[in-house]
Chain A
Amino acid sequence: MDPARKRKIRLVVALSAAVLLAAGLVYTSFSASADDLQPSQVLSQRPSGSFQLTGVVVPGSIRHRGSELDFRLADRDDASRSVPVRYTGEVPDPFRAGREVIVRGTLDGGTVVGERDSLITKCPSKYTDQAPQPAAAGGQARGKATAY
């Protein structure tokens, strides 16, 4: 077989392998993925199966009950739409009221049951869009910059 033909065959084999792998990748990613939702979407869509929920912890809603952590998550932009969450597992240090968190879970009745260890708390805001606000008259100390 002359070298040019050998090269063409190598190229075809490599490309086919790449296409097959890519197709496999794409197919499995759709089946392995979970919906990415906000609390208002959970309320309106009532998803079945596992999903990823992102929201802000509603102040005053945190309760530690034994090994369980209960809290409510609200939309980032609309604090009135919130869902209750029941979670067991590792609680990240930054977790507190007012912080944005991500948790994977399923819907059980009206409560989101969080998968074990799936709770992630976002780092407190580093790069926000805030325009610097002038302090109140009298030069009081600036309050802690809130996330959103």
Chain B
Amino acid sequence: MVGLGAAALWFALFVSVAGAALALAGALGGDGRYVTAARRSVWALCALLTLCVVIIEAAFLRTDLSLAVVADHSSTTTPTGYKLTAMWSSQEGSLLLWAWVLSIASSVVLAATRNKHREIVPWATAVLSGLAAFFCGLMLFAADPFARLSPAPLEGVGLEPLLRHPAMAVHPPMLYSGYVMFSIPFAFAIGALITRRLDASWIRSTRRFALVAWICLSVGILLGARWSYSELGWGGYWGWDPVENASLMPWLTGTAFLHSIMVQEKRGMLRAWNVALICATFALALLGTFLVRSGILQSIHAFGASTVGTPLLALIAVIVIGSAALIAWRLDDLRSERRLESLASREAVFLVNNLLLCGLAAVIFWGTFFPITSELFTGTKHSLAAPWYDRYTAPLAILLVLFTGIGPLLAWRRVSAGAAARLLARPALAAAVAAAALALLTDAASHPLALAMFAFAAFTLAAVAQEVIRGAAAQRALSGASPPRALATVVTRNRRRYGGYLVHAGLAVLMIAVAASSSFQSSQDVRLRPGQSTTVDGYRVTYVRPTKRIDPAEGRISFGAVLRVTKDGQPPLVLRPSRNYYAGPAAPGTGPVRSFFEGEATSEVGRQTTATRDIWTAMQPDLSSLDRYIAGADRRLQRIGRGIPAGDAAAQRQFGYLQGLAIRAIAARYMSHTPPAEFRVNVNPLVIWIWIGGAIAVLGALFAVWPAPPARQRRVADVYAARLARELGRA
């Protein structure tokens, strides 16, 4: 079957190249048959790539070790679920995923626009087919998922322990889906620019794809943050690592795009902004894909240069230069006749929004690529750490949150000064009250930026609440229904609006949690013996007793601690951090017992999450007092080991048993003469609200993207048609 898969990938390359050629022929010659053929080739491409994915996953499931990608990332002992996700932990598999999602999204959009946008669709098809051809070619010439190993090894390398995490199943596909789906509006924007059909038609057909892309990207970023938070040494939930930044930048410009297109749909303005934003978003999405595999930046994620880096960079360059040239060429057509009527209007707020989001993206871009730019100008690589990013993104983020509150309150075109004051009054009051309460009752004033964020987020939440209440009231006045029914009606009839409001509310909650957990975190490093205790942020943490666990099956020794955490007025809490030591390959000169303690080690974090804070603790036992015993055991074992004749299986087994005894003795010593351990105790306020806020935002976006049932759409349209007909009669 693998051979069929390899053939299918070649066919996919031919088909995508043919599709691009057919689409171009159709675009230039105007012959609809070529456009239809091009559309069919995209559908065929989707079928071929699906076949490839199925064959590869089947190979993973039956652990076909003749395939290099299976041998390198899976093994016979890998759990089934992780066998499936192992595909995208590999370079080749992730490229295949990229191309596959691209083909699916392209097929869907081309099916939906079969009878629309006759001028734009051929060019969009050419762009999408061309992109697919690029990725197929990249796979076939640089990272072939169907590469074989001959002879096939007996056992695979297996999945890296750190990647055996449920997040691995969802985080990469979500990110890739997000990146890929921005290609759809991008392709249509290119088509619109070439054909000069620069009204809102290209936006209307691709808006949903942009929104779904945003949802996927948001979920991917949130999952990545959560995964990072739960692993020690990954910098908490956000560390401004280049790869984290690479996923955030297209999210920022994509958010700007989603808002800005509303202005074009309603008022025909910001057309140049929109084409520029989508081209930038897609270029940044490709850049994100490139950064993970290029090695040009030092990052927790990025690795040595791979063969795939340079072609991807070339593609990004082509897209950036090509889009810029197209936009410059069509600049006259992009100018809108309409002008901003007033600064107190939604259009103005969206323009400010664009500026803030692009400003954030620009700051992050500058910081991320600073090692390269500084090398160009000064000859040495310089890098910027988290404090620099925090300093410049915090004010922009605070302003952004403010405007996510103002936007929903205003209307399109113009709101009179009096009306604006009335609309902003109550949310502003809520913000002031919140700020005052926090300043007086807590020490929030010690971090003015955080206080500002809290106040503005309170403003936004109050604004959203006001909108929902007033909307329900207005609906009630129109139809006389009961309040709950009126609320349900107005919300479901205006999904885009109220879905959007929910997203803003979720974002406000998330930013409150981010500000609180980063500004008001308490952290302490302390060295404790059993019986000793320390105090962190009002919590008394006592090291009660040590724990040990020996796991021969996993080749693991765990030394841990039982900690009791108490605070006035709260029930006592027990945390059990531990450090796991794994049997590793012995470095030359290291005895078998010592190799345990100098090999791979992981930490089990002891954590408790409540609505107000996370308490989190990790430990590192100081094993130096056990050194003597470890060295002694190793000496004795080595002496005995020298006396064992090679090939004597029974003696080898006895020797293994002796090693086990030695390890148990060391562990017993740990329990009886417990050395002190370094404990890090963190109290992080409000962290759970990051995940809750994010979930709310994603739900809001899902609500906004969900199509209203067609029957209701027709009914509403008919009502209006009737009213307009009356107008016509009168006119």
Contacts and interface: CB of A to CB of B under 8 A. Distances in A.
B232 A93 contact: yes
B90 interface: yes
A1 interface: no
B54 interface: no
Given A25-B363, A36-B298, A120-B233, A142 B678 contact: no
Contacts of A107: none
Interface string B593-614: 0000011111100000000000
A105 B150 CA distance: 47
Interface in B612-641: 618, 620, 622-624
Contacts, number: 175
Given A128-B303, A141-B153, A144-B157, A60 B587 contact: yes
Contacts of B234: 92
A97 B587 contact: yes
A65 B675 CA distance: 13
Contact of B622 (A54, A67, A76): A67
A14 to B, nearest CB: 7
Given A54-B298, A147-B304, A96 B385 contact: no
Contacts of A96: 584, 598-601
A60 B154 CA distance: 30
Interface in A5-48: 7, 14, 18, 21-22, 25-26, 28-30, 32-37
Contacts of A125: 303-304
Range class of the B interface residue count: 35 or more
A60 B591 CA distance: 11
B141 interface: no
Contacts of A65: 624
A52 B153 CA distance: 40
A119 B233 contact: yes
Contacts of B601: 93, 95-96
B496 interface: no
B396 to A, nearest CB: 10
Contacts of B233: 90-95, 119-121
Interface stretch (B37-45, B212-220, B376-384, B440-448): B376-384
A148 B154 contact: no
B551 interface: no
B294 to A, nearest CB: 9
A34 B385 contact: yes
Contacts of A120: 233, 235, 300
Interface residues of A, number: 60
A123 B162 contact: yes
Contacts of A121: 233, 300
Contacts of A64: 620, 622-624
Given A29-B366, A60-B589, A90-B680, A36 B155 contact: no
A37 B380 CA distance: 8
Contacts of A18: 359
B212 to A, nearest CB: 27
Interface string A51-94: 01010000110101111000000001000000000000111111
B680 A134 contact: no
A48 to B, nearest CB: 14
B384 A142 contact: no
A49 B622 CA distance: 31
Interface in B357-396: 359, 362-363, 366-367, 370-371, 374, 378, 380-385, 387-388, 392
Given A64-B624, A128-B306, A90 B618 contact: yes
B718 to A, nearest CB: 40
Contacts of A109: none
A7 B348 CA distance: 12
Given A21-B359, A132-B147, A126 B89 contact: yes
Nearest to B527: A67
B713 interface: no
A32 B155 contact: no
Contacts of B307: 129
Nearest to A53: B298
Nearest to A26: B366
A144 B599 CA distance: 14
A123 B301 CA distance: 6
Contacts of A139: 151-154
Given A90-B233, A96-B599, A132-B71, A29 B370 contact: yes
Contacts of B680: 90
A130 B366 CA distance: 32
Interface centre among A104, A125, A126 (most CB of B within 10 A): A126
A84 B153 CA distance: 39
Contact of A122 (B149, B299, B306, B589): B299
7 contacts: A7-B339, A7-B340, A52-B383, A122-B303, A132-B147, A139-B153, A141-B155
Given A95-B233, A97-B598, 15 more contacts: A18-B359, A29-B367, A30-B374, A33-B383, A33-B388, A90-B233, A91-B233, A91-B620, A96-B584, A102-B300, A121-B233, A127-B303, A139-B152, A141-B154, A148-B304
The 4 closest A-B pairs by CB, nearest first: A92-B233, A36-B381, A33-B382, A132-B68
Interface of B: 68, 71-72, 89-91, 147-157, 160, 162-163, 231-235, 292-293, 298-308, 339-340, 355, 359, 362-363, 366-367, 370-371, 374, 378, 380-385, 387-388, 392, 525, 527, 584-585, 587-590, 598-603, 618, 620, 622-624, 678, 680
